Structure 1
Amino acid sequence: MSSATLPLPQDPVRGPVPLLRAVRRRDPVLADFGLALLAIALILAAAWLFDARQLHGEGVWAKPIKFLLSVGLFALTNAWFIGDLPEARRGAAPIRAARWTIIGAGTFELVYITWQAALGQPSHFNEATPFHMVMYALMGIGAITLTATTVPLAREIARHGTGLSPALRLAIVLGLVLTFILGTGAGVAIAAYGGHAVGGVADGPGLPLLGWSTTGGDLRVPHFLGIHAPQLLPLAGAGLAAAWPRRARAVVWLVSALYILVTLAAFAQALLGRPLIGL
């Protein structure tokens, strides 16, 4: 989350505690939601140490932990960006809708994923019963709705984020928009393909923590790049723009174009059945 954008002058962040205080000042509701998800992820990580059950080749708690971390980071990033808006716009209808959509859709998805993990059953691509089919479909709708919240926030930042430098504002807007386009696009491809694995062994060895396949293509790689564009793009764009201030906006456009190409290349590599890193 701290890599989502550069801190504003009124938000000195020189350590984890000041950083937490800063993000809570920007949007207390969304920040508390994100922090709660990270805390739950830590609890499940402790549970993982005492629960040796496996599901599809990894611990049953691996998926909920990864989703808790991802949605938590997503919420904290958006809370930080909301703080870049004037006070009056933070309570505007588009921001209120985005805030509560993130909380509602995120909670629904995470509760179901965690519940299924506790039962030792898959949450995704589980069509064992009509109930599981309906829940899986609702999860897909929820995921698209969740990432779609980046669009109104991008519009608000583009129109009202005047306290930001033009280059940083552009990087944030592009990162948010590409999250919806690339992240949702890769997610839809995973659903259409019937899973993330292309070739190789579906439940075979994966990279530590991330779990990406080391024997075949894995559509989770481009999905990861798309979903985390609002953290990675502003960080890279702002850093390079600071190095070349006279061409800051051009550098941001260039970095964004390269990011799109890298994501598309990862997508193509996955479809060809080739792992990102073969072991």
Structure 2
Amino acid sequence: MTILTDLRERTRTWHRGSYRLAQAFAVITVLCVLAMLIDQRTLNGAPLWAKPFKFAVSAALYFFTWSWLVSLLPKFRRTANWLANTLVVIFAAEYVLVVFQTVRVRASHFNAETSLDNTIFQVMGGMIAMLWVINLVLTIAILFTRLPDRATTWAARIGAVLGMVGISLAVLMNGPTPEQQAALDATGTSTMIGAHTVGLPDGGPGLPILGWSTVGGDLRIPHFLGLHALQALPLLALALGVLAARYPRLRDGLVRTRLVLVAGAGYAGLLALLTWQALRGQSIVAPDGQTLTAFALLLAGVAVSGLIAIGRPSTDRELEASPR
């Protein structure tokens, strides 16, 4: 059996709309890379096609994961399928608007320079609000879903909750900056309302492709990290299951569950740390002593907890009371 045939067999029962959209965005990702190579214009200091590229990568991961998760729901499957289809339509429409603004060489987010720009962003804001509500309903459904493997169950649950946190962090970007508020107070208008960067205007020096600010705080970082907890933690559970064939200690499902819970707590801690760092206007590449100390304590806590999770024996009582 080829890898492609095996993949088709494994995904046969997955939610079709989400899966097809994930495939489409995988192709779009490649097209965006080609566009960046051919069209080297920039917008606000970043490659013109960088935003469509980043959106495509995130969307491919996001919809691939939800396609799998929706197929696991034992109840309300029809409702979940309908909600997932709605997600597909809304996000596809939002992406069309992002590409439309890219073709016009205009910012798609926070742009209030013209009536058309402002209308597009307001429409996108409404779409994002709808996505948030649907994502919340699906997340609640995942919290009550049990999989045969406890580690994967908790990876999906924690990942879905942290994903909701990541999506919600976008709210921090929508308010006017002090400079924008001053312009609004003085003239009643501002070309931009909202920003990714804290402490400096958007469009300064940033990491290649990602664009994350290297001179100020950037709220896109915790937003991205939280959003993709839904992929990171289930992948960890999968990796632990694969490693169990080589390391006997990991054959104990309770040990794998403990490690997933530790990783989930560490992921939440890192999300909080990066949000705190960004809100202080501090670049990801220039952490101060407070940030480094907090990161070191978090890393030590996760490492110690992981060692305890592996070394602690599984008692009969704990096996009976273990989370499902």
TM-score (norm 2): 0.72
2:15–2:68 contact (8 Å) kept in structure 1: yes
1:103-125 per-position Cα deviation (integer Å, ceiling 9, x unaligned) = 12101210000010011111111
When the two structures are aligned, how many residues end up with a matched partner? Answer: 262
1:117 match: 102
Structure 2 residue runs without a partner (length 5+)? 178-193, 245-249, 288-324
Matched ranges for 1:1-279 at <5 A: 15=3, 18-19=6-7, 22-86=10-74, 89-90=76-77, 92-93=78-79, 95-159=80-144, 161-180=145-164, 182-192=165-175, 193=177, 194-200=194-200, 202-237=202-237, 239=239, 243=250, 245-278=253-286
Deviation at 1:276, TM superposition (A): 1.0
Question: How far apart are residue 166 of structure 1 and its match?
Answer: 2.4
| TM superposition shift of 1:253 | 3.0
Counterpart of 1:231, as a letter, is Q
Q: Residue type matched to 2:226 in 1?
A: G
What is the letter of the counterpart of residue 121 of structure 2? Y
Which 5+ residue runs of structure 1 have no aligned equivalent?
A: 1-11
Q: Secondary structure at the match of 1:83?
A: helix
State the SS of the aligned residue for 1:80: helix
Indicate if the aligned counterparts of 2:45 and 2:203 stay in contact, CA closer than 8 A.
yes
Q: TM-score by structure 1 length?
A: 0.83
- Contact 1:27–1:83, Cα closer than 8 Å, also in 2: yes
Cα deviation per residue 1:149-187 (whole Å; 9 max; x = unaligned)?
33333333343x44432231122012112211x212310
Amino acid aligned to 1:208: P
SS in structure 2 at match of 1:206: coil
| Cα RMSD, aligned residues only | 2.6
The alpha-carbon distance between structure 1 residues 266 and 70, as it changes in their structure 2 partners (threshold 3 A), is same
Offset, 1:129: 2.2
Paired letter, 1:190 = M
Do 1:217 and 1:276's aligned partners in 2 also have CA atoms closer than 8 Å? yes
Distance in 2 (alpha carbons) for counterparts of 1:201 and 1:57: 11
Cα 1:51–1:101 change in 2 (3 A) is same
Q: Distance in 1 between matches of 2:133 and 2:269?
A: 22
Structure 2 SS opposite 1:26: coil
What letter matches 2:27 in structure 1? A
Residue identity (%): 32
Question: How far does residue 240 in structure 1 lie from its aligned partner after superposition?
Answer: 5.6
